Amino acid sequence: MANSSLHDVLGEKQDAVGLLRNSQVGIYVYPVVAAEFANWRSEQAAWRNSAVLFDQSHHMDELIVEGPDAEKFLAYHGINSFANFGLNRAKHFVPVTPNGHVIGDHIIFREREDKFILVGRAPTSNWLMFCAAYGQWNVRIKHDPRSPSRPEGERVLRTHYRYQIQGPDAPKIFEKLNGGPIPEIKFFHVDWINVGSKKVQALRHGMSGAPGLEIWGPYEDKSYVLSCILQAAKDAGVDLVRCGSRAYSTNTLESGWIPSPLPAIYTGDGMLADYRKWLGADSYEATGAIGGSFVSDNIEDYYVNPFELGYDFYIGWKKDDFIGKAALEKMKGQKNRKKVTFEWNRDDVLKVIASGFEDGLPYKWIDFPQPNYASTSADMVMKDGKRVGMSMFNGYSFNERCMLSLGVVEADVQEGDVLTLIWGEPDGGSRKTSVEPHRQAEIRVRVAPTPYAREARENYADSWRTRKD
């Protein structure tokens, strides 16, 4: 009998680490959008120097939650306060397990008192769909999953298009699009602007260190809206650079968001056990991959909590109750790890790359701009032979001319400390299709601020990006 759920896939041993480290899903693919429109170096530079256009229509799930209990449902299943969450606002929504560990995150928009749109990766969408079925909630959910990674010529349709324009010259484009100055839109607030003959919603947002606007609307308007954007840029005399999927996946290295923590759902009884039986055998959670030098027998060693990611800023402690509240109250008084940026040593990176041109077994290849060989990265970060952190997302920034990664370290690690990142998997590599035979390398990394980009640290609104300990 074929496996039907994550529980079945895990089998009697419930060996999640073995399953995910040897997943056959292949390299993580950003779907549909071309790999490059110009070249990824120029595309990265555009969000610093001119303006960049991101097509975000395909790589994220979209979830519409509506009904009389919509707010109560979401407030109960996320850590966030909903106290001042009015219409035309957005939030960074973070759900945790009953044990207080992060499942994922979404951007959530409030369109009506009883209607919300959530956008992000599959783990959060899957969890909320399960929770709606698991509890007694008067809500309706519509799920529009991300576009297929390999559509192979088949037509792809979504509910909404999403475009984001960022960079120092972006305001000139918005003014041309709108036919005059746009409304003053506060960070993570929504208003309406003109795009050709259309009225579209616009979110003040930013991912790459330069806040801009994200616009969206019915998918059937996508081509028309794109043509208007390109014409407006031309009329404004702005060098608007379309960003392909290779550069897109690196923008968060500069702004400090870790996009793919492992969803902490592989252990736990009760609700979590039921969830593993509900999740399909073809789900993200059942087919995803862990890659990197950190190998543990305990899948929980890969979990993170909101304090470690800087999301404690969001926790609605005054809410009567929400999933994970009791566990988070206990964590609050503990010494938690903290999120940092790791700046990789140039000479050590060059040593790894050079091994690909030498005889013998090379080090694990570093692909540019991102060595994206697993759904979740987990590389050991060491100090004096002791593991003191975990690198969780890595890539090359042409703007900074260096390799960077985001991760967590023990609380006593200080900015400026030089640590050692173990690059590559042990024992010649796992059985993942994205992993070639290789040996491990030691790469020195300097602990740097998060976000790494000064613009993001200094000019974003209050959030995990700007909060000081």
Q: What separation, in Å, do the N-terminal and C-terminal C-alpha atoms of the chain show?
A: 53
Structure confidence at residue 356 (pLDDT): 98
Distance CA 92, CA 107 (A): 5
Residue ranges covered by each domain of the chain:
40-59+151-248, 334-459
CA atoms within 13 A on the CB side of 91: 26
Could you give the CA distance from residue 140 to residue 151 in angstroms, rounded to a whole number? 29
Other CB atoms within 10 Å distance of the CB of residue 346: 12
Whole-angstrom distance, CA of residue 121 vs CA of residue 149: 13
Bridge-based pairing of strands 290-291 and 376-377 is: parallel
Tracing tokens 């008192």 back to the chain, one arrives at 113
Cα–Cα distance for residue pair 336/357, rounded to 1 Å = 42
Amino acid at 144: D
pLDDT at 464: 46
CATH assignment of 334-459, given 3.40.30.10, 1.10.40.30, 2.40.30.110, 1.10.10.60? 2.40.30.110
Distance CA 311, CA 100 (A): 12
Residue type at 345 in one-letter notation? N
Domain 40-59+151-248 fold? Gyrase A; domain 2 (3.30.1360)
Residue the block writes with tokens 């919300």: 116
pTM score: 0.95
Q: Which amino acid is at 235?
A: D
Cβ–Cβ < 8 Å for 36, 218: no
Reading the block at residue 224, the tokens are 């028309």
Are 56 and 175 in contact by the 8 Å Cβ rule? The answer is no
Per the DSSP assignment, residues forming a β-bridge with 314 are none
160-166/106-112 β-pairing: unpaired
Per-residue three-class SS string for the chain: CCCCEHHHHHCCCCCHHHHHHCCCCCCCCCCCCCCCCCCHHHHHHHHHHCEEEEECCCCCEEEEEECCCHHHHHHHCCCECCCCCCCCEEEEECCECCCCCECCCEEEEEEECCEEEEEECHHHHHHHHHHHHHCCCCCEEEEECCCCCCCCCCCCCCCEEEEEEECCCHHHHHHHHHCCCCCCCCCCEEEEEEECCEEEEEEEECCCCCCEEEEEEEHHHHHHHHHHHHHHHHHHCCCEEEECHHHHCCHHHHHCCCCCCCCCCCCCCCHHHHHHHHCECCCHHHHCCEECCCCCCCHHHHCCCCCCCCHHHHECCCCCCCCCHHHHHHHHCCCCCEEEEEEECHHHHHHHHHHHHCCCCCECCCCCCCCCCCCEECEEEEECCEEEEEEEEEEEECCCCEEEEEEEECCCCCCCCEEEEEECCHHHCCCCCCCCCCECEEEEEEEECCCCCHHHHHHCCCCCCCCCC
Residue position matching structure tokens 């709606």: 132
User: What CA–CA distance (Å, rounded) separates 25 from 282?
Assistant: 10
pLDDT of residue 208: 58
Q: Tens place of pLDDT for every residue, the chain, 469 residues?
A: 578 999 999 988 789 999 999 999 998 889 999 999 999 999 999 999 999 999 999 999 999 999 999 999 999 999 999 999 999 999 999 999 999 999 999 999 999 999 999 999 999 999 999 999 999 999 999 999 999 998 988 999 999 999 999 999 999 999 999 999 999 999 999 999 999 999 999 999 876 556 699 999 999 999 999 999 999 999 999 999 999 999 999 999 998 999 999 999 999 999 999 999 999 999 999 999 999 999 999 999 999 999 999 999 999 999 999 999 999 999 998 999 999 999 999 999 999 999 999 999 999 999 999 998 999 999 999 999 999 999 999 999 999 999 999 999 999 999 999 999 999 999 999 999 999 999 999 999 999 999 987 766 666 545 545 554 4
Which tokens in the block code for residue 14?
Answer: 């419930």
Cβ atoms of residues 381 and 391 within 8 Å: yes
